[in-house]
Amino acid sequence: MEKQPIARSARSAVFGALLALAGSTLAAREAAGELLVGKLALHRCASAAPWCAVLERPLDPSGAVAGTVPVYFEYYPHTAPAAAAGTLVATEGGPGYPATDSRAEYLALFGPLRPRYDVLIMDNRGTGRSGAINCKELQNAAALTEGDIGACGRSLGAAAPLYSTALAADDLAGVLDALAIERVSLYGDSYGSYFAQVFALRHGARLRALVLDGADPLDGPDFPWYPHYAPAMRDKFNLACARSPACAALGGSSLDHIAPALELLRSHPFEATVRDGAGRTLQLGVNATALAIVMFGGSPALSTVRETDAAARAFTAGDTAPLLRLMAETAGSVDGRDPTRNPAIFSAGLAAAVSCLDPPQIFDMYLPPAQRLAARDAAIAARRAEAPATYAPFTLDEYRAMPLDYAFIDQCVEWPATTGSPPSPLRFSAASYPDTPVLIISGELDDMTPVADGEAAAGHFRRAHHVVIANSFHVNALPQARSACGAHLVQRFLERLATGDERCARLVPAVRLVPAFARHANELAAARALPGNRAGSESLRVVTAALLTAEDAIARAAENGAGKGAGLRGGSFTASATRGGYRLVLHELRWSEDVSASGRIEWPGRTGIVRAILFLESPAGSGTVELSWPEGVGDAHATARGRLGGRTLAARASAP
């Protein structure tokens, strides 16, 4: 007998009863510390996340290598009472970092969407709580070496090929299956964008939308030599200088200004003990490669662009302190390992595995290492003869002397020969790219994943849209970006599959460069007197020194976070976090040798008004001066008011 359809009112009553029953059961399970999603029972997390679980996945899907890998993930249910509109997934850069350690940044990005969307964050296999690889010598060595990377691969044995991005992408698909999630919107930053593309190629039907923030393409012409790296580095400094009135007024390009310092470093390298902006002391080889690390490494991002041109000019003139400090800061910050060397925070072994398994190399990874060494040397010799300016203004040898995970081309030469599946490097046909809406965000001044890399990635997706954020660096949708523009575009895209008004991408102000480093205030341009000023030109130069002192400390706090910092030429400061920014307390801080500043700075973050009350001791006398200027505004100006040397001071200058 054919069943009769249930009347609509009766159907609604039955459905309501089932919902009520399900709701009471869910509430009971949540009260007991358990949430059933799909086939998985999630538990309350020890971390900041509400729910988490571990899914055991085959280490080797083919079964040739026995064992499993625990895949840890966190789940954040939507907060509104209605059914979820979908699921957002975020995946981390590196490789080697666990995505869940960046949960605060991802939740901030997804914040406006969380009432309607669930959020899923997974640690890739080999990172964080997903069986972080711990190659102890590689993890703890003072510097990465080809030998330690090779030894790490050998220690993994038959498992060495099984930490590929392809298998990590399959793990995410497995988690989605277990949670009964059909489709997701996936955000990836830096290496996370590489992972996101691999996921799209292997599981495109699972994607509603894809966001690549700092796109790291999978392939391209001349790819193993990273052909966009050096042009983007040169553009970064030249564009920033061209947009800075003081730098542009010098004539020539920024690379022209830096060239004399590079020649000095080549002809007269030396060793030095240097204190960085956080007050740490480092032994440093001061040479052309140390400058290459500053210029290629882009870390700290703002300070390297803001200061390198002026620091190089100072170095040429005999004032070595500014450039040596930058070298020390970069040397300390390009190492992804945390000070405790905890592989769960950053796994150098996983970083090596992915770097050696997935992208194409200048040699054949199927060759045994002994033969590969010979192939490497032959490729280097050919490159030196045929394209010596590949990494200009640096020579190929100066470039190769950088840390292996920034120079790239030598790091995998001793990694075990590739065997098994997936293939190395990863290969995909053009037909594999899904018809998914894709948003690609690039920073105009990013040389790690340059605009050209974003264009290359966009070229593979039929429905890709590429947005370049002016005057911005690497990764632009997360809170550390120079503006909120990238986040707004990503949020709109994830909700509507369209970015809407993109004018903000063109409106991010130029980086304010240090006009010049000075040992003494009388070497600086004077601030402009305002009505009521009774101070002389010497005091107006001290105002310029005070502004540069304040901004120098702000730049260090923004890069290093809360804690203690050191002045370029003496003194110290402490920084404590405030909502969006930092409160700095200065203790006889010296940017120049003859002006010290003590007092307080309130830095609001990327937008708002900076306010400082500083007691200055200077050649023009002592006194208290109040400084203020806006952040996030082009062509901004600062004002200074107070008394210096017993005279009333009122002045205006370009914001530092």
Concatenated DSSP letters of 570-589 = S-EEEEEE-SSSEEEEEEEE
- Pick 4 or 432 by higher pLDDT: 432
Q: Are residues 247 and 196 in the same domain?
A: no
Does any domain span residue 103? yes
The proportion of the chain whose per-residue pLDDT surpasses 90, expressed as a percent, equals: 87
User: Would you say 114 and 79 are in contact if contact means Cβ atoms under 8 Å apart?
Assistant: yes
Domain match, 181 and 107 both: yes
Last residue of a domain, one of 316, 333, 350: 333
- Whether the ω angle into residue 422 lies within 30 degrees of 0, i.e. cis, is yes
Question: Smallest Cα–Cα separation from 622: which of 510, 535, 519, 509?
Answer: 535
Q: Are residues 490 and 623 in the same domain?
A: no
What is the pLDDT, as a whole number, of residue 75?
A: 98
Structure-block tokens of residue 9: 């009112």
Residue type (1 letter), 14:
V
Q: What is the pLDDT of residue 429?
A: 82
Sign of the Cα pseudo-torsion (639, 644, 649, 652, in order): negative
Q: In what order do the strands lie in the sheet with 184-189?
A: 34-37, 40-44, 51-58, 68-76, 117-122, 86-91, 184-189, 207-213, 438-443, 464-469
Of residues 5 and 539, the one with the higher pLDDT is 539
Picking from 301, 316, 333, the residue at the C-terminal end of a domain is 333
Q: Are residues 232 and 269 in the same domain?
A: yes
- Identify the DSSP state of 116: T
Among the candidates 309, 333, 357, a domain finishes at 333
Confidence of residue 345 (pLDDT cuts 50, 70, 90): very high
pLDDT(330) > 60: yes
Mean of the pLDDT values across residues 384-401? 97
The DSSP result for 251-307, as a single string, is -S-HHHHHHHHHHHHHHS-EEEEEE-TTS-EEEEEESHHHHHHHHHH--SHHHHHHH
Domain assignment present for residue 116? The answer is yes
Residues 185 and 243 in one domain: no
Judgement on whether residues 210 and 85 belong to the same structural domain of the protein? yes
Give the count of domains, the chain. 3
Instruction: Give the C-alpha separation, 356 to 414, whole Å.
Output: 10
Q: Is the pLDDT of residue 26 over 50?
A: no
Clarify whether residues 208 and 230 are in a common domain. Answer: no
Same-domain check for residues 209 and 229: no
- For the segment 394-422, what is each residue's pLDDT rounded down to a tens digit? 999 999 999 999 999 999 999 999 876 67
What confidence tier does 128 reach under pLDDT thresholds 50, 70, 90? Answer: very high
Higher pLDDT, 177 or 298: 177
* Alpha-carbon distance values, 498 to 45, 197, 209, 361, 564 (Å): 35, 19, 10, 36, 43
* Same structural domain, 270 and 190: no
Residue 137, φ and ψ in degrees, nearest 5: -65, -45
Candidate from 6-15, 284-293, 533-542, 586-595 with smallest mean pLDDT: 6-15
Q: Is 514 among the domain residues?
A: no
Judge whether 46 lies within some domain. Answer: no
13 band by pLDDT with thresholds 50, 70 and 90 = very low
What is the per-residue pLDDT for 222? Answer: 92
Closest CA to 651 of 621, 625, 614: 625
pLDDT at residue 142 in the model? 87
Average pLDDT, the chain: 93
153 domain-assigned: no
In the structure, what pLDDT confidence band is assigned to residue 428 with cuts at 50, 70 and 90? confident
Residue 202: inside a domain = yes
Residue range 182-188: average pLDDT? 98
Predicted confidence band at 483 (pLDDT cuts at 50, 70, 90)? very high
Residue with tokens 């090779």: 150
Which residue is associated with the tokens 């010979």? 374
Residue-wise pLDDT tens digits, 642-656: 999 999 999 999 999
Mark whether 272 and 171 lie in a shared domain: no
Please indicate, yes or no, if residue 404 is contained in any of the structural domains: no
Question: What is the tens place of the pLDDT at every residue in 45-67?
Answer: 987 889 999 999 999 999 999 99
Whole-angstrom Cα distance, residue 589 to residue 571?
Answer: 4
Same domain, 204 and 100: yes
Whether 595 contacts 568, CB under 8 Å: no
- Report percent pLDDT > 70 for the chain: 95
Would you place residue 289 in the very low, low, confident or very high pLDDT band (cuts 50, 70, 90)? very high
pTM: 0.92
Q: Classify strands 207-213 and 184-189 as parallel, antiparallel or unpaired.
A: parallel
pLDDT at 7: 35
575: alpha, beta or left? (left if phi > 0; alpha if psi -120 to 50) = beta
- Place 427 in a pLDDT band, splitting at 50, 70 and 90: confident
Whether residue 447 sits in one domain with residue 322: no
pLDDT score at 421: 67
Does residue 368 surpass a pLDDT of 90? yes
Q: Write the CATH number for 441.
A: 3.40.50.1820
Residue 313's domain spans which residues?
Answer: 224-333
CA pair distance 442, 465, nearest whole angstrom = 11
> Residue 373 domain-assigned?
no
